[in-house]
Chains A and B, each alone.
Chain A
Amino acid sequence: MAESGKIDPMHQFAIEPLFGTDHWSLGGFNIAFTNSALYMVLAAVVLWIFVIGGMKRELVPGRWQMAVEYMTGFIKNLLIANIGDKGRKYIPYVFSLFMFILLANLLGLLPLGLIGMHPFTFTSHFTATGVLAIMSFSIVLIVGFWKHGFHFFSLFVPHGTPIAMVVPLFFIELVSFMVRPFSLGLRLFVAMTAGHVLLKVLAGFVINSANASPALGLTVGTASFILMIGISALEMLVAVIQAYVFALLTSVYLNDAENLH
């Protein structure tokens, strides 16, 4: 039986400098241009091209302009449904956030391995999603304290709370509020990581079973490969749903800051 190589499903998440070395440091941090940075730039450039192409402002929109207006309209409806008319001013932020995450998830799923490149999903790193979550959370805090001052703390004590329950409820609500940036970032990062690990584990089954013997390759390998196709379709769905959930939860949290309870 042929020796089966161990296929490490976590290797795909390794961050490697594309150019620059460990000596490129700024304040003790390495600033070499990594594959993660490359895919962030790619997502930003694709988003920029997508939006620029739709900004002709023609009276009768073409296909491209329709596509852009559909996406902005989708985010506008989301914000108005959750925040009300005051939500309009968050359209630029939530639209950029949604499209950036969506493009990052989808670009990481492209089958670029066929032409020898290594696609990288930077949303599968908590450092990247955590920063996005902290950005959303900071906006919630800034808007909340800017608009309501210290009255913002009434978010933690709903109307009609009995006096005896005020203190315990305050701490429970405080914890549930402070945990939001973690759960927001964690959800996106784990959903993307789990899907990619699953795909690589199944790919390992295909390669190892085909190496072991032709009979195993035909049975186990074919079954795993068909499953991989299905999981890939599911991953595209997850990529869209997770981007949508991130934008949705951001708008729900912004509603708390804008309208209190």
Chain B
Amino acid sequence: MDAEAAKLLGAGLAAIGAGIAALGVGNVFSAFLEGALRNPGAADGQQGRLFIGFAAAELLGLLAFVIAMILVFVA
């Protein structure tokens, strides 16, 4: 396979990671809402943890984007 084609294919494959991270972020918020609707009184106190979970899940999707950018523009 041509090296340039392999790079672009790799960048495309990295986009799968972004999609899977979307599942993770959705999971974080769905679990938070599920808990928050059962006990709305405790919901506000957990917003910090919500965003820590969101940030951790989102970071992996962003790393997939970084890999795609490195493959397209740097490698």
Binding site for B on A (CB under 8 A): 10, 78, 81-82, 183, 186-187, 190-191, 193-194, 241, 244-245, 248-249, 252
In whole angstroms, what is the CA distance A245 to B54 when docked? 9
Would you call B32 an interface residue if the criterion is a C-beta within 8 Å of the partner chain's C-beta atoms? no
Chain B residue at minimal CB-CB distance from A183: B59
In whole angstroms, what is the CA distance A63 to B35 when docked? 36
Q: Are A10 and B73 touching (Cβ within 8 A)?
A: yes
- Chain B's interface: helix, strand, loop or mixed, by majority? helix
Chain A proximity of B55: nearest CB distance (Å) = 5
Given A187-B58, A187-B59, A190-B62, decide whether A248 and B73 contact each other with a Cβ distance below 8 A: no
Q: Are A78 and B48 touching (Cβ within 8 A)?
A: yes
Would you call B52 an interface residue if the criterion is a C-beta within 8 Å of the partner chain's C-beta atoms? yes
Chain A residue at minimal CB-CB distance from B62: A190
**16 additional contacts (CB under 8 A) given A186-B59, A191-B58:** A10-B73, A78-B48, A81-B45, A186-B63, A187-B59, A190-B62, A190-B65, A190-B66, A191-B62, A194-B62, A194-B65, A241-B54, A248-B48, A248-B51, A248-B52, A249-B52
Q: Are A186 and B66 touching (Cβ within 8 A)?
A: yes
Interface residues in B57-74 (C-beta closer than 8 Å to A)? 58-59, 62-63, 65-66, 69, 73
Chain B: interface residue count, which band? 10 to 19
Q: Which 10 A-B pairs have the closest CB atoms?
A: A190-B62, A245-B55, A194-B65, A187-B59, A248-B51, A190-B65, A183-B59, A190-B66, A245-B51, A81-B48
- Some 22 contacts from A to B, beta carbons below 8 A apart, are A78-B48, A81-B45, A186-B59, A186-B62, A186-B63, A187-B55, A187-B62, A190-B65, A190-B66, A191-B62, A193-B65, A193-B69, A194-B62, A241-B54, A245-B51, A245-B55, A248-B48, A248-B51, A248-B52, A249-B52, A249-B55, A252-B48
In whole angstroms, what is the CA distance A193 to B45 when docked? 31
Q: Which residues of the other chain, A, contact B59 by a CB distance below 8 angstroms?
A: 183, 186-187
In whole angstroms, what is the CA distance A245 to B69 when docked? 23
